[in-house]
Amino acid sequence: MNPQQKSNPRGNTYGPVPSRRLGFSLGIDIIPCKTCTFNCIYCQLGPTEKTTIQRRSYYSCSEILSQLKSILSSGQRIDYITFSGSGEPTLNSILGKLIREIKKTTTIPVAVLTNSSLISRKSVREALNAADLVVPSLDAATQDVFLLVNRPHSSLKAQKIIQGLIDFRNEFQGAIWLEVMLVKGINDTPSHIQKLMEAIAEIKPEKVQLNTVIRPPAEKFALQLSMKELERIKNIIGPNCEIIAEFVTKTQTPLSKDLGEAIFSMIRRRPITLSDVSSSLGRNPNEILKCLDSLLKENKIKQVRHKESIYYEPK
């Protein structure tokens, strides 16, 4: 372990958890919470204190691999091993090494969710090249909109990111699902959608996935589009476009007291899904997943599959 590397007291893995896009996804979080190149107005983790573009090896590779091996040996169903979590995963300089080591250990496909900010760097594209599926975001096709929606580190340029995505498309053999987070009145105007479509035509992703602001955002003015508005944009973009926004009906104020205890007391009352907990507590699903994972490890709760959903129940 080098001096920069620390153990993550909460562990670097969470799940596997059911995900609409990826089936049963085992999450790997390799970035300290809210370490990011962006400060998106819609971020469900709150504001980024200080954006950074410096790549570092935050955690020990062997420790992450040993956490992963222990989960793999449990025999649970895992459809994807997914690098995502509470910051930008390409900021971790050992991402490529980790993916290559994982590929030596298992045949389970590896996915990376990235905000695309560093994809113009060859070293980042090389790291992502080791994955089977990359889900990059592109919310802005012009610098003006980029500054409004993603509030990036001052050195980042929208056109350079788009060129990086095009270069990556030409180098990468796996699938690219491009995610676009739409914020009402900010990046959903007809002229901006037209610009996005021009970028998408050059990036040539297998899928375009539209999302909108569902969870409580960093800024109150980051407003969601309705399903009807999303449908209209989906139809403009074309047949490889789908809507992935999961609308929820109720969001309460986040709790300030112990989250694990709050979740456990909900589970004691009735079997619930991840999205039930996340929407009723108004918390980021990644945060909830980590708590659920701890409760599973403590043997307090169990997962039960019912039809298409996974429920959590007391043991």
User: What is the contact surface with ligand SF4 in residues (CB under 6 A)?
Assistant: 36, 38-40, 43, 45, 48, 87-88, 115
Q: Give the shortest CB-24-to-ligand SF4 separation in angstroms.
A: 23
6 phi, psi to nearest 5 deg: -130, 165
Identify which of 132, 130, 189, 124 has the alpha carbon closest to the alpha carbon of residue 161.
Answer: 124
The least CB distance from residue 183 to ligand SF4, in Å, is 11
**DSSP string for 142-161:** SHHHHHHHT---TT--HHHH
In the complex, least distance from residue 44 CB atom to ligand SF4, rounded to whole angstroms: 7
Q: Which is nearer to ligand SF4, 45 or 277 (CB)?
A: 45
Cβ 36 to ligand SF4 shortest distance, Å: 3
CB of residue 42 to ligand SF4, shortest distance in Å: 6
Min dist CB 43 to ligand SF4, Å, is 3
Q: C-beta of 216: minimal distance to ligand SF4 in Å?
A: 12
Q: Which is nearer to ligand SF4, 211 or 311 (CB)?
A: 211
In the bound state with ligand SF4, the residue whose beta carbon lies nearer, of 43 and 81, is 43
Closest CB to ligand SF4 among 182 and 262? 182
Which residue's CB is nearer to ligand SF4, number 36 or number 277? 36
61-72 and 95-105 helices, crossing angle to 10°: 30
State how far the Cα of 291 lies from the Cα of 160, in Å rounded to an integer. 38
* Closer residue to ligand SF4, CB minimum distance, 38 or 312: 38
Q: Which two tokens stand for residue 185?
A: 């009145």
Q: Which long-range contacts (CB under 8 A, 24 or more apart) does 260-265 make?
A: 260/291, 260/294, 260/295, 263/288, 263/291, 263/292, 263/295, 264/295, 264/300, 264/301
**Contact status, residue 40 vs residue 93, Cβ threshold 8 Å:** no
DSSP E strands: which ranges in 188-297?
207-212, 241-243
User: Distance (Å, rounded) from C-alpha 152 to C-alpha 99?
Assistant: 26
Query: Please, which residue, 59 or 312, has the CB nearer to ligand SF4?
Result: 59
